C-alpha cells in the first residue's frame, strides 16, 4: 500500500509544482489592480477638439444590431468630424439603415470597401479602407464596432484622456449587455481568461507582447496609424485589434487599455451557443502572440482557472480511501492539505473577482442574471474553449468564409 501512497502523493506534489508558480504570476497581476487608471466617464469636448476625430465602423449584415450604434455615434459632439460606415456589400438592410441615419446627421458617410484581397481578414480590410478614405485633417482615428452602444461624451472622454496621459493609442473595455441565462453563466468565465492572462484594464503593460486592446472602441493618432501602414500589419489576423496594438507598442508608441464600462456598452452575441462559437474563436489571441507565450498562457489558465474546481470537486466527491494512505504505518506527506488549501484559495479569489467585474456587465435585461454569480463553475469549460481555439484557424468569421492553407 505504500506504493499507492507514494503514487498519490506524487500526483499531489506534481499538481502543486504546476500550480504554485502560476498562482504567483496571477497574484502579481491582480495586486496591480488598486493602482489602475480609473474608469473613463463621459466628458464635454473643448473647442480645440473641433473636428479632430474620424470615426470608422466596419459592417457586414449588421441590420439587427446597428441602430443603437448609429444613434450613439450621432449623439457625439463637434469633436467628431465624420462617421464613415464601411460596408462590405450587406444584403440585410444595413445600408438602408445607414442612409436613413445620414438624413438626420450629415456626418454619416456610407462607403463600400473593395473586394477582399488574398491574405486579408474582412474586418481589418474594412478599417484599412476607412482609414485611407477619411479626412487626413483629423488628428485621431476611431474604430468602432457595429454592436456597440456609445454613450454621450464617449469620444470627448477618449480624446481628453489620450491627450492628458500621452497615449498614442487607447482602447476601452466595455460594459457587456447580458440577456439570457446561458450567456450570463458562460460569458464571465470566458472574460476571466483575459483577466488571468493580462493585467486588468487601466494597468499599462510594460512590454509590447503583453499589451491588450479592444477593437470595439479603438482610438489611435492618425499620424501613428500612417507610420505603421494602417492595418496592413494586422491584415491576416482574426484578433487584429491586439495584433495592431502590439505592433504599435513595439514601434515605441504609448498604448493604453482602459475601463470604458461607463461610456459604452456592447451586445456581442445572442446566447451561450453563439458566445461559445464566435467569441471563443478569438480569445486565444494566437494571431498576436508567439508560440511560447501562447503555451505559457494555456499553462496558466489550466493551472489557476480550470484546475481549482476540478481538484476540489474530485477530492470531496471521490475521496481517497483511507487505507491507501495509512496502511502499514505509512505517514503521507502533507501535500494533500497544501494542494487543497491552494485550490480553495484560488477558487475564493475567483469568486471575489466577480465583484470586481460586476460593473462590466449590464444584467438589467437578463433572464437568469443570477447565474452570473455561478460563472466560476463554468471555468473549466471556458479554459477548454481557449485550448480548442488555440489549435484551430477559423474558416468562418463574421459572415465570410476563409480557406486554410
Strands 80-87 vs 108-112: parallel, antiparallel or unpaired: parallel
Note the pLDDT of residue 9: 72
CATH classification for the domain delimited by 47-185+199-268, as one of 2.60.40.10, 3.30.360.10, 3.30.70.20, 3.90.550.10: 3.90.550.10
Note the pLDDT of residue 13: 84
Pick from 90, 143, 121, 129: which is nearest to 397 by CA?
A: 121
Note the pLDDT of residue 45: 96
- The residues with which 86 forms a beta bridge, in sequence order, are 58, 111
| Vertex 137: Cα angle to 131 and 140 (nearest 5) | 60
d(CA 5, CA 9): 6
Pick from 73, 154, 147, 136: which is nearest to 106 by CA?
A: 73
d(CA 130, CA 222): 12
φ, ψ of residue 155 to 5 degrees: the values are: -65, -40
d(CA 296, CA 315): 27
List the domain boundaries for the chain. Answer: 2-32+292-392, 47-185+199-268
CB 157 within 8 A of CB 40: yes
d(CA 228, CA 244): 9
Strands 169-173 vs 217-221: parallel, antiparallel or unpaired: antiparallel
d(CA 187, CA 272): 7
Strands 80-87 vs 53-59: parallel, antiparallel or unpaired: parallel
Pick from 372, 18, 398: which is nearest to 191 by CA?
A: 372
How many residues belong to the chain? 405
Write down the residue that cell numbers 474620424 correspond to: 54
- The residues with which 264 forms a beta bridge, in sequence order, are 150
E runs forming strands in 88-227: 108-112, 140-144, 148-150, 169-173, 175-177, 217-221
Note the pLDDT of residue 318: 65
From first to last of the 405 residues of the chain, give the pLDDT tens digit.
556 566 667 777 889 999 999 999 999 999 998 889 999 999 999 999 999 999 999 999 999 999 999 999 999 999 999 999 999 999 989 999 999 999 999 999 999 998 899 889 999 999 999 999 999 999 999 999 999 999 999 999 999 999 999 999 999 999 999 999 999 999 999 999 999 999 999 999 989 999 999 999 999 999 999 999 999 999 999 899 999 999 999 999 999 999 999 999 999 888 899 999 888 777 888 888 899 999 999 999 999 999 999 999 887 776 555 544 454 444 444 567 888 899 999 999 999 999 999 999 999 999 999 999 999 999 999 999 999 998 877 666 666 666 654
* Contacts for 90 with CB less than 8 Å, ≥ 6 apart: 59, 60, 61, 62, 63
Note the pLDDT of residue 404: 53
Note the pLDDT of residue 3: 61
* Rg (alpha carbons) of the chain, rounded to whole number: 23
Answer whether 0.85 is exceeded by the pTM.
yes
| Vertex 379: Cα angle to 360 and 283 (nearest 5) | 65
- Give the 3-state secondary structure of residue 57: strand
Amino acid at each position: 500500500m505504500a506504493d499507492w501512497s507514494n503514487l498519490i502523493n506524487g500526483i499531489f506534489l506534481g499538481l502543486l509544482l504546476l500550480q504554485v508558480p502560476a498562482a504567483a504570476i496571477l497574484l502579481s497581476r491582480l495586486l496591480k489592480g488598486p493602482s489602475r487608471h480609473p474608469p473613463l466617464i463621459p466628458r464635454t469636448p473643448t473647442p480645440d477638439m473641433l473636428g479632430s476625430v474620424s470615426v470608422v465602423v466596419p459592417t457586414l449584415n449588421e441590420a439587427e444590431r446597428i441602430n443603437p450604434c448609429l444613434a450613439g455615434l450621432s449623439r457625439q459632439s463637434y469633436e467628431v468630424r465624420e462617421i464613415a460606415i464601411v460596408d462590405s456589400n450587406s444584403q440585410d438592410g444595413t445600408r438602408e439603415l445607414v442612409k436613413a441615419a445620414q438624413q438626420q446627421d450629415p456626418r454619416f458617410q456610407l462607403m463600400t470597401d473593395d473586394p477582399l484581397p488574398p491574405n486579408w481578414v474582412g474586418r481589418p480590410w474594412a478599417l484599412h479602407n476607412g482609414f485611407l478614405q477619411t479626412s487626413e485633417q483629423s488628428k485621431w482615428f476611431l474604430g468602432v464596432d457595429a454592436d456597440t452602444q456609445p454613450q454621450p461624451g464617449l469620444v470627448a472622454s477618449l480624446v481628453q484622456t489620450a491627450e492628458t496621459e500621452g497615449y498614442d493609442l487607447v482602447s476601452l473595455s466595455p460594459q457587456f449587455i447580458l440577456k439570457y441565462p446561458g450567456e450570463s453563466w458562460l460569458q464571465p468565465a470566458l472574460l476571466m481568461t483575459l483577466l488571468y492572462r493580462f493585467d486588468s484594464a487601466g494597468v499599462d503593460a510594460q512590454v509590447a507582447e503583453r499589451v491588450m486592446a479592444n477593437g470595439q472602441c479603438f482610438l489611435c493618432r492618425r499620424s501613428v496609424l500612417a507610420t505603421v501602414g494602417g492595418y496592413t500589419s494586422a491584415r491576416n489576423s482574426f484578433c487584429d485589434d491586439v495584433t495592431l496594438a502590439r505592433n504599435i507598442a513595439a514601434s515605441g508608441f504609448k498604448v493604453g487599455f482602459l475601463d470604458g464600462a461607463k461610456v459604452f456598452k456592447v451586445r456581442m452575441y445572442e446566447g451561450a451557443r453563439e458566445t461559445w462559437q464566435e467569441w471563443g474563436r478569438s480569445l486565444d489571441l494566437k494571431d498576436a502572440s508567439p508560440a511560447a507565450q501562447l503555451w505559457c498562457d494555456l499553462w496558466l489558465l489550466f493551472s489557476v482557472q480550470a484546475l481549482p474546481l476540478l481538484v476540489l470537486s474530485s477530492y470531496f466527491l471521490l475521496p481517497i480511501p483511507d487505507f491507501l494512505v495509512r496502511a502499514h504505518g505509512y505517514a503521507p506527506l502533507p501535500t494533500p492539505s497544501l494542494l487543497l488549501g491552494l485550490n480553495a484559495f484560488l477558487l475564493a479569489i475567483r469568486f471575489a473577482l466577480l465583484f470586481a467585474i460586476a460593473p462590466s456587465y449590464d444584467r438589467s435585461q437578463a433572464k437568469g442574471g443570477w447565474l452570473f454569480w455561478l460563472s466560476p463553475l463554468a471555468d473549466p469549460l471556458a479554459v477548454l474553449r481557449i485550448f480548442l481555439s488555440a489549435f484551430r484557424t477559423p474558416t468562418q468569421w463574421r459572415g465570410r468564409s476563409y480557406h486554410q492553407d
